Structure 1
Amino acid sequence: MRVKDIMSSPVYTVEQTTPVAAAATLMTTKSVTALPVLDESGALVGMVGESDLLWHRVPADPTAHLRPLPATDPAERPGLVAEVMSPYPVTTRPDTDVAEAAEAMLEYDVRSIPVLDDGDLVGIVSRRDILRTMVRGDDVLTAEVQHRLDEYADGQHRWTATVDGGVARIAGDFDDPTERGVVAVLARTVPGVAAVDFTLVPAVRSGG
């Protein structure tokens, strides 16, 4: 399964000059946890998340409210996204395997990753998107994989698919290695399928 299969598109974005309050409003109204930040030319220059917006709004000292003066002077709070965003964001590509995107999220401790195609922002993938694919039952995945294979075979039931633990096991004959490769790709495009197994498949028939 590839990032393009589960990413959200189009993407809600803000600019460097967007007020912090406006970015916070956009996040809450659209129910997102992070927003890509674009420059004047539309290029990705950063990410701003909930924690970035809250950093200068919540006192670091929980007893600060007991003092005569607030720990953070409202006049000194950042007003623009450029002042609170995280630069040099981690990015991924549409054809990247979802497992690789998940590893990047964990390695860099981010909740969302912008998806770039030749430098253009085409989507965003979040931990929630990845988790959503994991909770789909194997029976649902089996039906979806089987449907795609039958469609590719012009309605014929040439192959039998079963999904167990996110692994699609496909049985049946193939005319050549290319056809087998196409079937593997079709199965992997079903959100929730992590791998394809052909161990129970007979050898590819030779021509003649």
Structure 2
Amino acid sequence: MHARDILSRPVVTVQPQMPLRSAVALLTAHGYAALPVVDDDDRVVGLLSESAALAASSHLETALVEAVMTVPVEVVNPGTDTSTIASRMLAGGLRSMPVVEAGVLVGIVARRDLLRALIRDDTTVEAKIRALLDEYAGSRRQWEIDSIDGEVTIRGIFADDSEERIVATLARTVDGVHGVETSDTGALRHR
């Protein structure tokens, strides 16, 4: 798995000339550990972390982001392996890393993104499919969903062949699904 598979976007960013008070408001409103600082061309020039903002709290009214941002910034590219990202985060005590391509910010990877990737297991796949099917069927829990290593089986009552195909197609849209098999358990199709 790579950064491109787990990164978050769009990314909330700040600019170097932004008042620190405004940047801290963004940081806290969104619950982020850090915000990338970008120039006018969306190139990462720094990182505003919670700890840097907290250390500058006595100058909150007068300071600009550029006065407290961390430079240089550790960045990764979309093809960076997640194990490399995790190692770099742990070694550097980082809570997030901007993802850049050709020098331009394209996303961010936070520790929670890495953790989410670790638990992207069959239970997660089943829950995502169940949510899609609940939305499709109006919360009529009429199907059982099982996933083993991305191979999904959906059992239940389908109104007709068309609905069976729709349900299978919806399930295939979920990340981590490699194959879908359906099984109509109804004795008679509803007409």
Q: % of aligned pairs identical? A: 37
Contact 2:41 2:104 in 1 (8 A): no
User: Residue 130 of structure 1: which of 105, 114, 128 is its match?
Assistant: 114
Structure 1 residues 190 and 16: CA distance shift in structure 2, 3 A: same
Residue identity matched to 2:78: P
Partners in 1 of 2:32 and 2:60 — Cα distance? 27
Partners in 1 of 2:77 and 2:114 — Cα distance? 15
Return the offset for 1:75: 6.3
Does residue 95 in structure 1 map to residue 79 in structure 2?
Answer: yes
Partner of 1:36: 36
Partners in 2 of 1:44 and 1:140 — Cα distance? 33
Partners in 2 of 1:75 and 1:108 — Cα distance? 26
Partners in 2 of 1:80 and 1:12 — Cα distance? 17
Contact 2:43 2:103 in 1 (8 A): yes
Partners in 1 of 2:95 and 2:9 — Cα distance? 16
Partners in 2 of 1:76 and 1:111 — Cα distance? 22
Partners in 2 of 1:110 and 1:76 — Cα distance? 23
Partners in 1 of 2:87 and 2:59 — Cα distance? 40
Partner of 1:107: 91
Structure 1 residues 77 and 6: CA distance shift in structure 2, 3 A: same
Partner of 2:22: 22
Contact 1:37 1:46 in 2 (8 A): yes
Structure 1 residues 18 and 75: CA distance shift in structure 2, 3 A: closer
What SS does the corresponding residue of 2:108 show, helix, strand or coil? Answer: strand
Taking structure 1 as the reference length, the TM-score comes to 0.57
Unaligned runs of 5+ residues in structure 1 are 58-73, 145-160, 169-188, 192-208
Give the CA RMSD over aligned residues.
2.8
Partners in 1 of 2:101 and 2:59 — Cα distance? 40
Return the offset for 1:133: 2.0
Partner of 2:142: none
Return the offset for 1:135: 2.9
Contact 2:21 2:60 in 1 (8 A): no
Partners in 1 of 2:40 and 2:120 — Cα distance? 40
Partners in 2 of 1:94 and 1:105 — Cα distance? 16
Return the offset for 1:23: 0.6
Partners in 2 of 1:75 and 1:115 — Cα distance? 30
Q: How many equivalent residue pairs?
A: 136
Partner of 2:10: 10
Partner of 1:148: none
Partners in 1 of 2:89 and 2:113 — Cα distance? 12
Contact 2:96 2:111 in 1 (8 A): yes
* Structure with bigger RCO (C-alpha 8 Å, 6+ apart): 1
Residue identity matched to 1:120: V
Q: What aligned pairs does 1:54-93 form with structure 2 within 5 A after superposition? A: 54-57=54-57, 74=58, 79-93=63-77
Residue identity matched to 2:4: K
What SS does the corresponding residue of 2:56 show, helix, strand or coil? Answer: coil
Return the offset for 1:40: 3.6
Unaligned runs of 5+ residues in structure 2 are 129-146, 151-174, 178-191
Structure 1 residues 31 and 108: CA distance shift in structure 2, 3 A: same
